[in-house]
Amino acid sequence: MHRSPVQIVWLKRDLRLNDHRPILEASLDGPTVVLYVFEPKLWSMPEMDRSHFDFIVQSLQVLSRSLEAIGGRLAIRVGELPEVFAEIARFVDIAAIYSHEETGNGFTFDRDKRVARWAREIGVPWNQYPQNGVVRPLKSRNGWAALWETRMKSPMATTPDRIEIPDHFDWGTIPEGDELELKKTQKKNLQIGGERQAIETLQSFLDGRGCDYRKGMSSPSTAKDSCSRLSPSPAWGCISIKQVYQQLQSRQQEIREAPAGASDSRWYGSLNSFSSRLAWHCHFMQKLEDEPELEFQNISRVYDGLRENEFNQERFEAWKEGMTGYPMIDACMRALNETSWINFRMRAMLVSFASNHLWLHWRPTAVHLAQHFLDFEPGIHFSQFQMQSGTTGINTIRIYSPAKQVIDHDPTGVFIKQYVPDLANVPNEFLSEPHRMPLDLQTKIGCIIGKDYPPPIVEHCKAYKSAQEKIFSIRQTNSAISEAKRVFVKHGSRKNRDPLPKPKKKSGFQQLSLFDDFDDPQ
């Protein structure tokens, strides 16, 4: 019996219909199957969480309805790749596979190599298309910013008017989380997946919430409204970075052309800040694309052995549970455990505290927080962990004072007392360091340090000084300086005029971050 050739669109982190070139190109070539595969081995990895699964399922349900509106249909499989493709090929002739390029973790990288080998062996073309500013392959970082801007300004892929589907095909159904051994999440107030929700979130930011973006992004109390809150959507591909960029450009043009006094002046700075973070989004993903090993090993290898042999499990557990005795650290961690989102400054503080105060190696802490970031994007995630841990060799080391972060960003305890009710009755003057309260006051308010709330797990000044000395004992060596040059050539931003930033002296330790919202949407 004659079997008509079928085009297979393989969905990964691109769960949308708009600006989806693989769907467009496949639909032009004949009957098309849009396929998502739930891979058990991927979902068994410690980085993955039920909250990720639920967000993806929500996104697939929205995409399914969008496809059906133009005659298409969503196919679902549970299994490993390329075995799923081989099974499909038993029943239909696969004319070609279409997908976006993916900068994922080590598992997806190895899986893609297996798929490519299988496709070559049976003669099936695999057409891959870029979907963001990550360039594959990139010979040099020189000129990358211009390449990124060119991509962002290029026309978006049009949405097909109709999609033809094969007459006979087993479309499958979305599995329950239990089938992948994913327990139901206890998290609440999670963001919702899907293309429509992504577009609505972007519009609400550009039309209103984003006015205070620059001012409100740093405090966890104001960031939940002032930040775009878009980050999970590009992470799982519910909206493309190009679409975000072009809608942002349109909004900026609208404000520039508005009559004098018609627009709030805060919009200019806020939207400029947001625009710069779109480029940083892809800048960090490009690092993982260029060097996949950075997911597992230090970018600058001279730092090998810096923390690996001093891992303290007790400290790790206290950090994970939000029981360190530092109110801002604990509130942020408990907020993450409950909602899977926190703003970037607080993320950077959590990572810096774990790496420098607690002297924990970045790999276990990165894996743990990957579970709790609904917007987990491997390229950004692992690159940022290394940056905050001081193992890149080219970035300023930032060690935050958790007490200062309370004073600067939650002086009245609105955020802290929401997530650490143990401190509900602590006066504001002691909120940054409750262990300094007199014992009679602790008794009076019912918050005994060491009983109702833990004392500081480490002393800030001692931990700060120790981390500073250990890192700079390496950073100032000739081998570290030489390695920094190599890392900069491969990964460094080219916005600086100097070919290599000058080495920082110890005064280079700061309590300020380079940027405050990489995950939003970066």
Q: What is the pLDDT of residues 318-355, one digit of tens each?
A: 999 999 999 999 999 999 999 999 999 999 999 999 99
What is the CB-side half-sphere exposure of residue 165 using CA atoms within 13 A? 17
- 188 part of a folded domain: no
Nearest-CA neighbor of 465 among 357, 304, 354?
Answer: 357
**Angle of the 378-389 helix axis to the 362-372 helix axis, nearest 10:** 140
Q: Which of 241, 271, 290 is the last residue of a domain?
A: 290
Same domain, 326 and 433: yes
What is the CB-side half-sphere exposure of residue 323 using CA atoms within 13 A? 12
- 497 part of a folded domain: yes
Q: What is the pLDDT of residues 409-456, one digit of tens each?
A: 999 999 999 999 999 999 999 999 999 999 999 999 999 999 999 999
Q: Tokens 């609904």 appear where? A: 374
Same domain, 363 and 412: yes
Lowest mean pLDDT of 112-121, 165-174, 310-319, 507-516, name the range. 507-516
Same domain, 220 and 302: no
Same domain, 364 and 503: yes
Same domain, 350 and 286: no
Lowest mean pLDDT of 22-26, 79-83, 280-284, 500-504, name the range. 500-504
Rounded to 5 degrees, what are φ and ψ at 77?
-135, 150
CA distance 152 to 150: 6
Rounded to 5°, angle at Cα 402 from 396 and 403: 130
Residue 230: give the domain boundaries: 195-290
CA 487 to mean position of chain CA atoms: 22
521 close to 230: Cβ distance less than 8 angstroms: yes
CA distance 129 to 145: 19
- 172 part of a folded domain: no
CATH number for the domain spanning 116: value is: 3.40.50.620
Q: What is the pLDDT of residues 80-97, one digit of tens each?
A: 999 999 999 999 999 999
Q: What is the pLDDT of residues 149-168, one digit of tens each?
A: 999 999 999 999 999 999 98
- 353 part of a folded domain: yes
Same domain, 342 and 264: no
- 160 part of a folded domain: no
Q: What's the predicted TM-score (pTM) here?
A: 0.93
Same domain, 279 and 396: no
Same domain, 322 and 253: no
Q: Which of 131, 152, 185 is the last residue of a domain?
A: 131
DSSP for 147-211, written as a single string? HHHHHHHSPPPPPPS-----SS-----PPPGGGGT-PPP---SPPPPSHHHHHHHHHHHHHTGGG
CA distance 139 to 285: 15
Sequence-ordered alpha helix ranges (H) in 208-312: 213-216, 220-226, 232-235, 241-257, 266-290
- Which has more pLDDT, 300 or 503? 300
Same domain, 453 and 346: yes
DSSP character at residue 456? P
Here the tokens at position 43 are 């979902």
Here the tokens at position 273 are 């800040």
398 close to 510: Cβ distance less than 8 angstroms: yes
CA distance 273 to 258: 20
- 394 burial type by CB count under 10 A (0-12 exposed, 13-18 middle, 19+ buried): buried
Residue 495: predicted pLDDT: 64
CATH number for the domain spanning 272: value is: 1.25.40.80
CA distance 180 to 53: 10
Residue 383: predicted pLDDT: 96
For the chain, how many structural domains are there in total?
3
Residue 453: strand pairing partners: 449
Residue 23: predicted pLDDT: 98
CATH number for the domain spanning 385: value is: 1.10.579.10
- 165 part of a folded domain: no
- 241 part of a folded domain: yes
Same domain, 284 and 405: no
CA distance 39 to 442: 52
Same domain, 395 and 416: yes
Same domain, 262 and 392: no
What is the CB-side half-sphere exposure of residue 274 using CA atoms within 13 A? 35
Amino acid at residue number 288: L
- 157 part of a folded domain: no
DSSP for 468-494, written as a single string? HHHHHHHHTSHHHHHHHHHHHHHH--S
Q: Which of 75, 101, 131 is the last residue of a domain?
A: 131
346 close to 332: Cβ distance less than 8 angstroms: yes
